Every structure is written in C-alpha cells, then in structure tokens.
A and B are shown apart, each in its own frame.
Chain A
Amino acid sequence: MLVNKKSFVRNSAMLLTAGMLFASCGNETPKDENVTAEDSTATETATVEVEDVSYSLPSPLQIASIFKKSGLKYKDGITSTLKDPSKYTTNLSKALNLGVYSADLSYTVLNKQNQEAMNYMKLCRQMADNLGMGSVFEQGNLSKRFEKNIGNEDSLAYIIAELQMVTDMYLDENDQQQVTSIVFAGAWIESMYVGSKVYEKGKDKSLNNKLAEQMTILGSIVNALKAQEKKDPAIGGLIADLQSVKAIYDELPSVKNRTEADDEADKEMTLTDEEVSTLTTKIEEIRTKFING
C-alpha cells in the first residue's frame, strides 16, 4: 500500500511537471541557439499577430450626417427595399446588408422619416440576429429607447451612435473585427448611392464636393478589408468590387488633374456631371450585387 502511495505521488508529480513543461513550451517562441540576433527577432515578430498599420473606419451615421449638412434632401423610394433578412445566407451578404440598412436607418432618422426609420431599425435588428449579435440591441434598452424617442432626431442620432459603440465592442470582444469593415463597406456603398441619386435631381455643388470627398476614404476601406481577409476569404470578392469603383474614380479627368498643392490647400474637388454619372453607374451595379446577396 505504501509502495502504491509512493508510486502514485511520484507519478502525479511527474505528470504535473511534464504538464507544466508542456504548457510553458506552448507559450514560448521556438528558439534556436544557433540563429543570429536578427533571425531571432524575425522569428518573434512573425509570431505576433499585430499589423504595423491598421485602419479605423467611420460610422454610417457620420457619413449620413456629412451628406445631410451638405444639403442632401430626402428623396422617397431610393433607399433599399425592405426584404426578408433570411434571404441572406452567407456571413458576407448578411454583414453587407446590415451595412446597407444601417445607412438607410441613418438617412431616414436624419430626415425625420419616422415610420421608415422604425422599419429600418427592426430590419437592422433582424439582420444582427442573423449574424448572432442581436443581443447588442438589448444593451441599455437601445431598441425601446429608439421607439420612445421616435420623432426626436437628435436623441435618435445619439441612440444610433450608442448602438454603433456596443456593436463595435461586441465584435471586438468576439474577434470579429472583419464584420465591422464589411458592414461599413455596405453602408458606404448605400450612402454613395443615395447621395448620387439625390445629386442627379438637384445637381447641388456642395453635394458634388461631398461625393468626391467620400471617394478619398475608399482606399482606407479596401486596406481595412485586406488586413482582415484571412479571417473570411469571401472578403476577396468584396475587395475586388470596391477596387473596381476606385479604378474608375482614379481615371476621372478631375481626379487625374488634381495636384498635391490642391490637396495641401484643402481645395474641394468638384466632379463634372458626366463623371458623377460614370461613378453612379458603377456604384449602382455594386449596390445591386450586394442587395441581391
């Protein structure tokens, strides 16, 4: 019996020690004593998953707010048609259309379209449920507060901003930062579509300037998506779509003729009507693709 106890203690100790050594090895960067200091640093850098450059994208609400300040009026019938969220089956299409609906929600709220805003809020919630993150709407009673404040544009804008904050935090805590970038890509395309459709009617110069200015962040959106591509290979197709918009924009004469001095002087860019039309056609094509899933 004593022998058995001794054996048990010895075996347990060996197992524990081996377990601790194994666990320690799991956290260690493999080291080769023969490698140079430079090689050693390179090995350590390769094991750290932090990019040298990362991107912080704005919210759909800020984009809608910028367009609104430039004089963007409400135009009936241009926002996306309310569809059954279950129609979207891939995570990419769900996130993109959550973005599309978020942009429409912001546009309708800032233009006091109460019933439409309520409908888009419900749709955003359903879409978030489909993505497994419906719980964010429950935090701080956001859904109920939205309903209670309907008609009060400022309060609703603050509630949407808060919803954005809890969503960002949820996605970060769940290591789903790629969803943030995809949602914003959907929202950006929808905002550009709405902006260009309103521009077609009024040809407002200030709105033209804002459409051109928005194009300057497309590179950041593409780079943000590229940085997350390994988390969802389907992002590759989205990047290609957005790059096709950027390629058209970069070839527009007004863009090619812009100098560094214009940038330095903060000179606002104005596109010709024909250029806006070319851009609108491409954006509409991509938006249709998003909405059709």
Chain B
Amino acid sequence: MKKIFFSGLLGLIFIYGFTTIQATDNCDKKTLTNSCKKKMEPFKYDSQKFTKIMYQKKAQQLEIEVPVFIGEKYRLVFNTSSLPKPVMVNVYTKDKESKKREAIYSSKDLKAGENEMVFDVPRVRKLYIDYDVPADSTSQKLSGCVVMMVGYK
C-alpha cells in the first residue's frame, strides 16, 4: 500500500517538475549573443535587444524602434532559436500605426527550422522591427526570447 502511495507521489512530483520546466524559457543570452556576433562580421557591433516572448491566447505584435543615420551602412542579425514556436520577423520603414509603411524584410520565406537571419539594411531614416507572435491555446505558458543585434560600418 505504502509502495503504491509513494509511486503515486513520485509520479505527481515528476509531472509537476516537467510542467515547470516547460513553463520556463531557454534564453541563453551569452550563446545567442556569440552566435549573432559571428554573423555580424565585418560590421561593428552597435547594440542588441533581447525581447522576451510570452505566448498568449491571442496573437501579439511587438515592435522595436531602431534609429539609423544617413550615410551609415547597417546590418541586423536575429536569432529565434530559443523560441518554442516560430515568430515572424518583419522590418518596416515606419511604425505600426502608419498606413504608409513599407516592409523591407520578412522572415516568412525562411525554410522550416531556420532561426538565424541576417539583413543588410538599405538607405532608410528609421527601422521598425515587428515580431508577430502566434497565439497559443495550450495551457503550457510557453515563453522564450528573440535577440536582435545591430551592427554598422
């Protein structure tokens, strides 16, 4: 009887531990940074932005504003490898409130499993990076992070 009870108890602890591990994200910032840095060459590091993604029942759109300057050449590197579900990365010339905005990059054509993106920016006045986060109807509380690195030369 005692054995059955303890087996049940261990089972409960295991299930609890498993769901807890699933609920935490796997955002190893150092590894992600080093990976982006390799793709940044020969551009010089300027800044980076980690964006924590917490999947919700509704789809979300998160935006990052990146100021750029005339005459400079820029490269953007994204890494989405720590995400449990793919997030679409789009780069625009204007913010999401603007009707005139133009998409200059989208990750929609990436092959499945590809999670590192390199984009050399054409001449623009400002950059708006949008992360289109899909809805998650499960109760797993999925989360992860996206890193964007900006370089210039």
Contacts and interface: CB of A to CB of B under 8 A. Distances in A.
Interface of A: 9, 13, 16-17, 20, 23-24, 27, 40-41, 44-45, 48, 50-59, 61-62, 65-66, 69, 157-158, 161-162, 164-165, 168-169, 172-173, 213, 216-217, 220, 223, 263, 266, 268
B52 interface: yes
Contacts of B72: 62, 66
A53 B65 contact: yes
Q: Which residue among A20, A23, A165 has the maximum number of chain B CB atoms within 10 Å of its CB? A: A165
A24 B20 CA distance: 9
B37 A165 contact: yes
Nearest to A40: B57
Contacts of A268: 70
Contacts of A51: 62
A157 B44 contact: yes
23 contacts: A16-B12, A16-B13, A27-B141, A40-B57, A41-B57, A44-B56, A48-B54, A50-B51, A50-B60, A52-B61, A53-B65, A54-B49, A54-B65, A57-B47, A57-B67, A62-B46, A62-B152, A157-B44, A165-B37, A165-B45, A169-B30, A172-B29, A172-B50
B48 interface: yes
Contacts of B148: 56
B18 interface: no
Given A59-B47, A66-B72, 9 more contacts: A9-B5, A27-B141, A40-B57, A41-B56, A53-B64, A55-B66, A56-B49, A59-B46, A213-B70
A110 B45 CA distance: 16
Interface in B35-89: 37, 44-54, 56-58, 60-67, 69-72
B32 to A, nearest CB: 9
Nearest to A216: B67
B109 to A, nearest CB: 24
Contacts of B47: 56-59, 164, 168
B91 interface: no
B132 interface: no
Nearest to A16: B9
B114 to A, nearest CB: 23
Nearest to B44: A161
B95 interface: yes
B45 A41 contact: no
A54 B152 contact: no
B62 A263 contact: no
A167 to B, nearest CB: 11
B125 interface: yes
A143 to B, nearest CB: 18
Interface in B11-27: 12-13, 16, 20, 23
A56 B66 contact: yes
Contacts of B71: 66, 69
Contacts of A173: 29
Contact of B95 (A53, A69, A216): A53
Nearest to B58: A41
Contacts of A66: 69, 71-72
Contacts of A54: 49, 51, 62-65
Contact of A50 (B23, B52, B65, B66): B52
A118 to B, nearest CB: 21
B101 interface: no
